[in-house]
Structure 1
């Protein structure tokens, strides 16, 4: 077994590998860019070495430098994590030439499966079901349109060397093929240094289901069940679970055997994933093979009881797999949600900056958090916007969902936008809970974007009760500080009016030595809590049910976040509540005449001129953020009055790009 390994990655996956290596008694070497000098993975590793400036091409993609660091430190092997160098054939070869083990598949397997065009040809030859499409090189947009016409719409345009949703577009007509072809090529070139794309039939009502495989250097390959990854946005996975609520034992066996068949065809000898797209009739087609550890691997670990990183390390060290196919047992249900630095209230636009406050759920039975950040960490524009992965595990799918909703409420993230509310909304959605999933779930269920989860009567009462108790605790604290109160019980029987989103509700709060009873809507709700005004999350038992509510102070009252939405809640005395109705509200300024930059990003192009008349839906500008191109379109017909930005400009959120007459 290796005595020391280097992790050629950053963030949560680097931390994840370090944890397993530490448990196995293996020392670790971290590498980092300028942007990650104070990162968690650097702190966790036994040694750490600087690579270069923040851009990946000048740091994490410097394979030759990483090989030199291995020689310098005596690292006998490299784990590449996912992304960066994990699927670069030349890097695996460079390590082999230097006598350093690559904790991943052999270079031939990477080469065969890394090119999505060649992998489809190989899969077809191996007897694996493939999606109808054009697997050759596409010359230009006109060629792309001809191909799409032959296949039949809708079609998927996808980067040959792609991954992570970059360089992918769905087109429903010729015009969308032309636009998507160019954007996909641009993103592919920017992200992977390879602008080749291919086109295939887009299966409607599709489910994204993948099979986890693991192999060794002795010809053994097995599959470890499936993962359902259908909840996606812009082809980027958001929620994953294992097993799939759609897959039958017969379907699992058929998919698994095809995955193993393909893996054996390339002599696969590590952890990898064979991705399929499944139709509603349970037909399935090969999409691609990822020759690396997947982001969503923890859900497979939870239901199999296996450590995939350990299996990868042992395989790279020459050990045979410790189990056979018949030994693989799937127990319980696991769900993973990806906590991203993005703002779901602003069309999921990327958010960058410092984690001014960061609290995550406490890890416990059924709750696991994989992260690479701590409070004060920087979410950089140079890398993936993932903050953490929340994994919950239960005996049933319903239990795993319940634990997700509870744990998501325990997060407290400030300083950047995040998608916690959206993830909670998905978990609560009836269609998700029923398991009726497709890759179009988000587009179909949130067609107008995300505006927060509905305020149900149950949630409304919880927030009213919580605000009433928090108000009493604060008043007692103020009284003790002023020497006006002798302790708990001094505000026994106080009447208050709780305003929630401007709707006023009378309540009565009784405090019997720290045990509270709130009378609301003819009900008496008991509350047990040790919350203090300094705590950002209100943990309590309300009527015997444990709840967690995020607390943010406002000039008047609180913003309380719970189960996927935030609400302004104010505690008034009865007289103050009466007077509040006379307060004049300030109107928001009219910004409809401006095109504002919706995210921090780089101007790729300005597609209009001063004086030009534009129509609704017409492209106005293209902004790149986190390696993804975003086309900004006109919301209505207008005439361009002025242009305040140009190609190459770096813009902040809400910077004015255009003004209309």
Structure 2
């Protein structure tokens, strides 16, 4: 077995690999750019080597710099994680030439299956059903438009060397095909150093289901069942689960057998994923094979008890797989929610800055997690499990240079319903401040009827949130519970405020029993009576019992209201609180009856008019300005392109108008709400 391995990656996946290597007694080497000097993976590793400036194309994907780090430290093997150099044939060949083991597949398999054009050709020759498309090289945007028209709209424009949603666009018209081709080509060149593009038919109403495979150097190969990855935004997965709520045993076995056959056909070893698109009749079509560890691998680990990183390391060291296909059963259900540094209230645009607060829920081990050693550090066994794979810490910086994912929150339970409920509670307890993040959106999805029923496709987000995400709308009964909780919390805060030294027996009479709780646009007149075990809050004649040990100043309140748990993220505001729960962000004011009367008379402050301005929606770099002062623009017309976190974002005109002035230029770095251009 190896004594020392280098992780050619960063963030949560580097931390994930280090945890398994540490458990196996293997020393680890981290690499880092200027931006990651104080990163968590650097702190966790036994050694760390600086490899260059923040941009990935000057550090993490520069093969020579990684090779220098290997030579400096004497690492015997390299785990590439995902992204960066994980599917780079030249990197695998460089390691082979150096006599260093690559914890991944052979370079030939990377070339055959890592390239999406080649992999589709091989799959077709092997008799695997594939989606119609054009696999040849495409010269320019005009040819892309012609090919798209021949295939039939809508089409998917994809980078051949792509992954993680980078270099992918859906086009419904020839104009969108031209535009998508250019953006995909630019993103592919920037992120992967390979700007080849292919086009395939976009299957509407599809499910995205993938099969995890694992193969050794002795001819053994197995599949570890499937993952449902249909909840996607901008072709990037957001929520995954294992197994799929849609597959039956026959389809699962057919997909698994086909995935294993494909892996054997290309001499594959290590962990890999065969991705399929599945229609409503459970017909499945090969999409691509990812010749690396997938972001969503934890849900497979949670239902099988197999540590995929450990098996990758053992396979690279020449060991045989310790199990056969018949040993790999499905135990329970697992969910994964990807925590992204992006603002769901601003179209999910990237957000950067300092994590002023980062408090994940406590990790809990259960089920198959206990079958394969200590999965979670210092975790206690329970009936359900919580796991959080992360690469950040409180006080750390979220950089504009890398992918916006900062953590993967996972839950496990014996049933799908239990896993969803476990995820709900874990999301409610996850505290993140200082940046925009998608926790409210993840919570809202967990309560969405279609998701709960398993009736989902890759169009779920576009169909269910066509105008974007504006926060969850909680039912009236839930707002009543929140009002009762706020009243009880306010009483505790008021007692503390009015307490007079030496007169502790009189302080409660200063608080009073009657209040009016404003929850958003709703009002709840309440009467509150307390005893030593909690409070009883009367709302419209109905009594709700509130129990909690919350203390003023605490940012998280765990309560039991009306015999059901309620977790609230708490911030103090004038005459009340900002309370967040289950995807809702609520301003809650608790006032005395007379103050409530006066509050109703207060005018509402109007927001500033920015309708004549194009504001930068996120920190980023201006890539392109499409118009000039004096130009007339139409609704939907591209005005500018801003790049942030490796993604190009095209800003479009909301209505017809004339450009008055342009205040930005290509190459300029902008902050949120910087004015890009003004309209007449």
TM bracket, shorter-chain basis: over 0.9
> What's the offset of the Cα at 1:46?
1.6
1:89 aligned partner: 89
Q: SS of the counterpart of 1:131?
A: coil
Matched, 1:393 2:412: yes
Select 1:623's aligned residue among 642, 653, 659. 642
Q: In the aligned structure 1, how far is the partner of 2:265 from the partner of 2:103?
A: 20
TM-score after normalising by structure 2: 0.95
Distance change (3 Å), C-alpha of 1:481 and 1:213: farther
Match of residue 657 from structure 1: 676
Aligned position for 1:307: 307
Per the alignment, in what secondary structure is the counterpart of residue 463 of structure 2? Answer: helix
1:463 to 477, 482, 490: 482
Q: Give 2:184's aligned residue.
A: 184
**Could you say if the C-alpha distance between residues 40 and 115 of structure 1 is closer, same or farther in structure 2, counting changes exceeding 3 Å?**
same
* Whole-angstrom distance in 2 between the partners of 1:13 and 1:171: 32
Match of 1:633 in 2: 652
1:543: which partner in 2?
562
Residue 566 to residue 543, structure 1, CA distance change in 2 (3 Å): same
Give the aligned partner of residue 595 of structure 1: 614
Q: How far does residue 493 in structure 1 lie from its aligned partner after superposition?
A: 6.2
CA distance in 2, matches of 1:578, 1:492: 19
- Is the CA contact 2:8–2:81 (under 8 Å) kept in the aligned structure 1? yes
1:71 is aligned to: 71
Cα deviation for residue 481 of structure 1 reads 6.0
Structure 2 CA distance, aligned partners of 1:503 and 1:438? 35
State the match for 1:474 in structure 2. Answer: 493
- Find the aligned partners of 1:463 and 1:366 in 2 and give their Cα distance: 27
**Deviation sequence 1:204-255 (CA, Å, 0-9, x none):** 1111110000011111111000101011000000011111111111111111
Q: Summarize deviations over 1:390-418 as a string: whole Å, max 9, x none.
A: 11111111111111111111111111000
Aligned to 1:141: 141
Q: Does the 8 Å CA contact 2:661/2:679 hold for their aligned counterparts?
A: yes
SS at match of 2:70: helix
Task: State the Cα distance separating 1:325 from its structure 2 match.
Answer: 0.8
Following superposition, the deviation at residue 171 of structure 1 comes to 1.3
**Where in structure 1 are there 5+ consecutive unaligned residues?**
none
How far residue 605 of structure 1 moved from its aligned partner, in angstroms, is: 1.6
Once the two structures are superposed, the pairs formed by residues 136-535 of structure 1 within 5 Å of their partners are 136-364=136-364, 365-480=384-499, 484-486=503-505, 494-513=513-532, 515-535=534-554
Matches of 2:533 and 2:512 in 1, distance apart?
13
Checking the alignment, whether the CA contact within 8 Å between 1:488 and 1:511 is kept in structure 2 is no
Separation in 1, partners of 2:502, 2:558 = 27
Q: Which moved more, 1:380-389 or 1:47-56?
A: 47-56
**1:572: which partner in 2?**
591
1:413 counterpart SS class:
strand
Sort the Cα spacing of 1:596 and 1:483 in 2 relative to 1 into closer, same or farther, 3 A.
farther
Kept in 2, the 8 Å contact 1:492–1:510? The answer is no
Work out whether residues 479 and 485 of structure 1, in 8 Å CA contact, stay in contact via their aligned partners in 2: no
Q: Is the 1:472–1:491 Cα contact (8 Å) retained in structure 2?
A: no
Secondary structure at the counterpart of residue 409 of structure 1: helix
User: What SS does the corresponding residue of 2:29 show, helix, strand or coil?
Assistant: strand
Question: Residue 85 of structure 1: SS of its match in structure 2?
Answer: coil
Secondary structure, in 3 states, of the residue corresponding to 2:499?
helix
Q: Quick check: 1:476–1:485 contact (8 Å CA) kept in 2? A: no
Q: CA deviation at 1:68?
A: 3.0
Seen in structure 2, the aligned counterparts of structure 1 residues 483 and 97 have a Cα distance that, compared at 3 Å, is farther
In 2, are the aligned partners of 1:9 and 1:31 still within 8 Å (CA)? Answer: yes
Residues 257-285 of structure 1: per-residue CA shift (max 9 Å, x gap): 11111100111110000011111121111
Aligned equivalents of 1:609, 1:300: Cα separation in 2: 51
Q: Say how many residue pairs are matched.
A: 661
State the Cα distance separating 1:340 from its structure 2 match: 0.3
Distance, in Å, in 1 between the alignment partners of 2:186 and 2:637 is 20
The structure-2 alpha-carbon separation of the partners of 1:483 and 1:273, relative to structure 1 and needing over 3 Å to count, comes to farther
Higher mean C-alpha deviation, range 455-464 or range 370-379: 455-464
TM-score by length of 1: 0.97
Residues 489 and 514, structure 1, Cα contact 8 Å, conserved in 2: no
Cα distance in structure 2, aligned partners of 1:487 and 1:235? 61
Could you say what secondary structure the match of 1:83 adopts? coil
C-alpha distance in structure 2 between counterparts of 1:325 and 1:460, whole Å: 50
Deviation, structure 1 residue 500: 1.3
Determine helix, strand or coil for the equivalent of 1:326: helix
Q: Structure 1 residues 189 and 69 mapped into 2: Cα distance closer, same or farther (>3 Å)?
A: closer
**Deviation for aligned residue 1:73:** 2.3
Tell me the residue number matched to 1:583: 602
Encode CA deviations 1:325-350: one digit per residue, 9 max, x unaligned. 11110111111010101111111111
Q: Which runs of 5+ in 2 are unaligned?
A: 365-383
Contact kept? 1:491, 1:510, Cα under 8 Å: no
Contact kept, 8 Å, 2:620 with 2:669, in 1: the verdict is yes
The answer to whether the Cα contact below 8 Å between 1:274 and 1:286 also exists between their aligned partners in 2 is yes
**1:140-196 Cα shifts (integer Å, max 9, x gaps):** 222222222221221111111111111111112222211111111111112111111
Q: Cα distance, 1:490 vs. partner?
A: 5.5
Contact in 1 for aligned 2:157/2:197 (Cα 8 Å): yes
Distance 1:261 1:571, change over 3 A: same
Aligned pair in 2 of structure 1 residues 176, 341: CA closer, same or farther (>3 Å)?
same
Report Cα offsets for 1:495-515 as digits up to 9, x if no partner: 111111143211122221352
CA deviation after TM superposition for structure 1 residue 71, in Å? 3.0
Classify the secondary structure of the residue corresponding to 2:90: helix
Stretch deviating more after TM superposition (357-366 or 247-256): 357-366
Q: Is the 8 A contact 1:518 1:524 kept in 2?
A: yes
8 Å Cα contact 2:385-2:413 kept in structure 1: yes
SS at 2:429 equivalent:
coil
Rounded to whole Å, the distance in 2 between the matches of 1:62 and 1:483 is 69
Match of 2:20 in 1: 20
Alpha carbons of structure 1 residues 520 and 611: separation in structure 2 relative to 1, 3 Å: same
Which of 404-413 and 207-216 deviates more? 404-413
Identify the range of structure 1 (602-611 vs 422-431) with the bigger mean alpha-carbon deviation. Answer: 602-611
Which of 172-181 and 567-576 deviates more?
A: 172-181
For the 8 Å contact 1:488–1:512, the answer to whether it is kept is: no
Task: Give how far 1:574 is off.
Answer: 1.4
